Structure 1
Amino acid sequence: MSDADAANGSSATAESAASGRGTGFKADSLALGMVIVLAMTIVQRAIGFFRGIWFCRLMDDAVVGQWSMAFGFITLITPVMLLGIPGSLPRYVEHFRSRGQLGSFLRRIGLTTGCLAVIGFCIMWCCPQWFGWLIFLQPQDATLIYAVGVGVLSIVFFNFINDLNSSLRQVRMVSVMQFMQGVGFGIGGVAWLATGGGLTGLVLTFSATTVLATTPGLWRLRRGWSGMPIATESFDAPKMWRRILPYAAALWAMNLIGNVFELSDRYMILHFMPGAGVGGESIGQSAVGQYHSGRILPMLFLSLATLLGGILMPYLAADWESGRVDAVRRRLKQVLLGVSACFTLIASGTLILSPWLFGTLLEGRYDDGLSLLPMAFVFCSWSALVMIGQNYLWVAEKGKWVTVALSIGLVSNIALNAWLLPRMGLQGAVLATLTANGIVMVGVWLAMVRCGYVADHTAFYVAVMPATVLAGPWVAVASVTIVMITSPAMRQWAEEGVALARERFAFLAPASA
């Protein structure tokens, strides 16, 4: 075989690997995946919004605060106790799949993940009072802590199946899983509380619906597994761990710092709110409940960004493995600009409706949450953009810079909260979190540029658009309109969307004469 033939064969192999053809898992296209995610998310997040509203209506603000802390702990502890190992799936599944070694890779990752999850649950089972103080600032009924432990196990299982399907670019199945989990918990949680159920049962309802939502993903994995490529070389387990562990360690540090950063404002409110502390736990829990009400809608941005980032990562990894670095930068730029514009418009519309939402749906009980809503939209939008943009650093295996940026943001958040909370109350907490998220965003942007990402005026638009809601919703709408008119990247993004729509719905066009 000539060198040219070998090169052509290698190129064809890479292209086949990138597209997912020739295996039992035909990859969904990125554009189609984004459309599906958007459509499913609209319904899912609408139900999630009403779920949050009804949770606030059916529980007093102190219990809402306890639910917020319990759910936040489940989110925080899960990636930390797993040492970042299952987080390597989106980056390395394509690498081992193309070599026919995916089964060997997954057996080791799955076994390690299961052992770490069981160890974490056993520690919670043995020390319920300590975890009660850690999560709620006061000892709790051991049954509630055990329920939280079950919630941790359920989310570990769900995330593993979800990440594996996402890594194989089975976007439709990932969307179905996320939809089932969100809708199932929304219906089950509201039904439980409406019939007089308590917090422990609510956590167990979350666990049950989360496990049930893995069913479609398990079905897809079983069907597609028989078509996987056969290994052409022996599997080198020590080599695998040498490559995986540095990535997992950086991801673990990022998850630890990131989740502590995300939860730090609530812990600071719990401890530093005027009147909180020893004997005043209910004051801090009520303040967390008010804070939670103001984050119900903005937090939907983070949920959507998590979905989009998880879907985008395997496509970026496939492009990177095939040497198409420019495609990675182009895709990321378009996604970031589109997400920033959409989130700004959604925030603007919500702010216009917010007096009715808080006055009617929340019965006027969460005025403090209403007052912090504009700043919450800004810092949640910035955090969502970081969540998507950091994929560039992870695909380039430079994720340590994400941890550095988050560490600086965490220190800033704690220091600013400790200074502003006693002086300004909840407004001080939100201002501190807003500033800290801005610091993290700038840090990640600088790290991306240092690692080869080309930052132009589009990056400026991406960062500034969400902040315009602080000047009022109509100012924000005007800013998005100006960017859509003047930005070449936005026009290209819109043109590609129109072309995709024409391709997908060409059968609706009248036949030519």
Structure 2
Amino acid sequence: MSKGSELFKNTLILGLGSLSAQIVGFVLLPFYTHALAMDEFGFVDLMTVAFTLAVPVLTLQIHMASFRFLVDARSSVEEQRQIVTNTLILLALFLVLVVVGTAGLWLLFRPEHVLLVVGVGICMALLQNFGQISRGLGFNLYYAVSNIITAVVTLVGALIFVGTFHWAVTGVFSALIIANGLGALYLVVALRMWTLVRPSLRSKNVCKSMLAYSIPLIPHGISWWVNNVADRVMISFFLGTGANGIYAASAKFVTVLNAPNSMFMMSWAESASVNLKSPDRNEFFSNVANSALKLFGSGGLVLIAGMPLLFQLMISDEYSGGLVVVPMLVVGVVINVLAGIYDAVYVAKMQSRRVMVTSLLGAIVNLTLNILLIPLIGILGAATATTISFGVVAVVRAWDTRRVVRIRYNLRDVMALIVASVCVIVNFYLGTLFWNNVALAVAMIFAVTLNRDYVLMAWSKLRTRNC
């Protein structure tokens, strides 16, 4: 199987889980915006995105080390057992410390929902770490199935706890605890995790090596959180949680691109690690980068053109003010895809400190611009700050990694995307609903034409399976 085909296959498999989460997210978005008060929805969104910071940081990013080390240990069962054993030992230690700290916090201050919040965090940590073990061992399908289970149970739990029992915020968190817990339990059974654990293989040296790789990723994790989540915190601080609810409703739609971006980056990190030393790495990396730019760039245009119609169909009128930030958020996601291409080079070279430095730079830019722009132009300032910070990270990483791999972009495709983007975005802000629908149809034709090779490949595979 060719390198490109292997990457395409892994991306499709990982996409099964991301697609299920995406569908559930779209189903729950109008449900939550109607079932929860605006402040409640803003609080739930703020807490949910906060988990993306707390879980990796409190577990010292050990899931990233387990994945990367397991990729290199696929030919040795004994090495796999040693890595898994020491990963779980470290994870158990971190979670015990979290529980002890939370118990003290609860006894002193009794903050609202703290036990539920911690319960969600623990279950997410288990699912995240077991999922990366599954990926590191090469079982991407198990990883995808666990995400599907989590998504479906989240949907059912939310409908029951929030829709039927009217538990509001408590119902949302209860559904997340059960869903993530069941997803983690599935991976334990599917991987037969007990066969991979050997207490006799515990090793301080292995733990030190894994922590030496993962700890420098903590600032990267914090920086990633700042670049992706600080806008919500800043909006809540300057404008209130109600404004964050409006912003969050718009940002949820952009996850149409974020979800496939996440699954692509997971597959790409594995392929980059395997192929970085190959003699044709420049051509391979350039092909992947150009393909990603075309897929996500044209997909972003379709999303922007279709947003006015989607907002009318799915979102309560009180959230309509969030529509203005969509183009900027979409541009940010596309730029972040390119930054992720270069990020995989650092992962492949195990240069976690360089990931940290570039991410910190982006975080500083993001925080500074958020503080300057949100008081001036509201939620649009937050989207602008995030997009500019992604651009800074992408440019710096492209410059820094040029000594390892040279990525060249197809100028014709880049110019076509720029011209099409200007036309679609101008029409988005100035056009009527009729012209927005026309733009949507044109954007879809443009996307299919620009990615015709992949459309034909997917069609060919579909026909072959049906024959």
Aligned 1:72-87 pairs, distance under 5 A: 72-87=49-64
Structure 1 runs not aligned, ≥5 long: 1-14, 20-27, 131-138, 274-283
From 301, 304, 314, give the equivalent of 2:270.
314
1:250 equivalenced with 2:216 (yes/no):
yes
**Identity of counterpart residues, as a percentage?**
17
Q: In the alignment, which residue of structure 1 is the partner of 2:433?
A: none
AA at the equivalent of 1:326: D
Contact kept? 2:86, 2:206, Cα under 8 Å: no
Tell me, yes or no, if the aligned pair for 1:378 and 1:469 is still in contact at 8 Å: no
Residue of structure 1 equivalent to 2:133: 164
Structure 1 position 305 matched with structure 2 position 261: yes
Q: Which residue of 1 aligns with 2:154?
A: 185
Instruction: Read off the aligned partner of 2:30 and give its amino acid letter.
Output: I
Partner of 1:411: 364
Q: How many residues end up aligned between the 2 structures?
A: 450
> Is the 2:116–2:174 Cα contact (8 Å) retained in structure 1?
yes
Change beyond 3 A, Cα 1:114–1:351: same
Decide whether the 8 Å contact of 1:101 with 1:235 is kept in 2. Answer: no
The answer as to 2:86 corresponding to 1:111 is: no
Shift in alpha-carbon separation, 1:331–1:211, aligned structure 2, 3 A = farther
- What are the superposed Cα offsets for residues 164-206 of structure 1, whole Å, 9 maximum, x if unpaired? 1111121221111111212221232233221212202211210
* One-letter amino acid of the structure 2 residue matched with residue 81 of structure 1: L
Deviation sequence 1:389-441 (CA, Å, 0-9, x none): 41121111223222222212211112112111222111222222221221122
Residue 103 of structure 2: aligned partner: 125
Deviation at 1:363, TM superposition (A): 2.5
Partner residue of 2:181 out of 187, 211, 224: 211
Counterpart position of 1:136: none
How many angstroms does 1:258 deviate by?
1.3
Alpha-carbon offset, residue 351 of structure 1 = 2.8
Structure 1 residues 459 and 505, CA gap change in structure 2 (3 angstroms) = same
1:90·1:314 contact (CA, 8 Å) conserved in 2?
no
- Separation (CA, whole Å) in 2 of partners of 1:459 and 1:85: 40
Partner of 2:383: 430
Aligned residue number for residue 60 of structure 1? 37
What do residues 205-231 of structure 1 show as CA deviations (whole Å, max 9, x unaligned)? 1011111123442232119958x9x9x
Q: In 2, Cα distance between the equivalents of 1:72 and 1:423? A: 24
Q: Distance in 1 between matches of 2:461 and 2:244?
A: 48
Deviation of 1:78 (Å): 0.7
Give the corresponding residue for 1:10. none
Match for residue 201 of structure 1 among 136, 151, 171: 171
Rounded to whole Å, the distance in 2 between the matches of 1:269 and 1:290 is 10
Distance 1:330 1:118, change over 3 A: farther
The residue number in structure 2 matching 1:174 is 143
CA distance in 2, matches of 1:166, 1:72: 23
TM-score (norm 1): 0.77
Compared CA separation, residues 173 and 467, structure 1 to 2 (3 A) = farther
The normalised TM-score by structure 2 is 0.84
**Given that residues 302 and 381 in structure 1 are in contact (C-alpha distance below 8 angstroms), is that contact kept between their aligned partners in structure 2?**
no
Cα distance in 2 for partners of 1:169, 1:462 equals: 34
- 3-state SS, counterpart of residue 68 of structure 2: helix
User: Alignment partner for residue 324 of structure 1, among 278, 296, 300?
Assistant: 278
Alignment of 1:429-468 (within 5 A): 429-450=382-403, 452-458=404-410, 465=417
In the alignment, the residues of structure 1 paired with residue 386 and residue 258 of structure 2 have an alpha-carbon distance, to the nearest angstrom, of: 15
Change (3 A) 1:311 1:128: farther
- Residues in 2 aligned to 1:479 and 1:503: alpha-carbon distance in whole angstroms: 22
- Cα shift readout 1:86-138 (whole Å, capped 9, x = no counterpart): 211221103234243211221111111111122123223322499xxxxxxxx
- C-alpha distance in structure 2 between counterparts of 1:481 and 1:348, whole Å: 9
Q: Distance in 1 between matches of 2:29 and 2:133?
A: 29
TM-superposed CA distance for 1:464, in Å, is: 9.1
> Which structure: larger Rg?
1
* d(CA) in 1 for partners of 2:118, 2:322: 29
How many Å separate the matches in 1 of 2:100 and 2:413? 48
Whether the aligned pair in 2 keeps the contact of 1:129 and 1:142 (CA below 8 Å) is: no
